[in-house]
Amino acid sequence: MKKVNYRQALGMVDISQKDVTIRRAVAQAVIKMSRGSLKILLKGDAPKGNVLETARVAGILAAKSTPRLIPMCHPLALSKVKIDFDIQEKSAKITIKAEVLVEGKTGVEMEALAAAAVSALTIYDMMKFADKEMVISDVMLLEKQGGRGGDYKR
């Protein structure tokens, strides 16, 4: 087991010598709720308004705000942030997929993960009036492309 040096100075990784390439990442989060809550969401009866569109905007803002949320992330000029929802009525869950694209020197995995997670948290916030037992799970990187580390697909 590798010994960790906790006295090592913190700092962002130096990416100045890296090449600018197109980098893409896709992440997901899942939120499970009661069937009754999902029916309210789909019917559009949440008191705070349109849940999924608000969650979409929140996810986009989270991707753009990642360097303010996670200390060592580089600020990036994102080219694309796309949030999709896969609603599974039978199991009363929503799978959120966030895709992030940049032409830059570092990857966008953290931006995609932040987007998916914050979208799920927004759904929770807007639906907690109906269901306080919702569960957010399976926040994970699904795929990434570009960069020295190569491509990854779960």
**Active-site residue set:** 125
Residue 66, CA atoms < 13 Å, CB-side half-sphere = 24
CB 67, CB 73: distance < 8 Å: yes
Indicate the DSSP class of residue 106. S
For residue 133, which of 88, 83, 92, 89 has the smallest C-alpha distance? 92
Packing angle, helices 109-127 and 51-69, rounded to 10: 140
Considering Cα of 93, then 85, then 61, then 129, what sign does the dihedral take?
negative
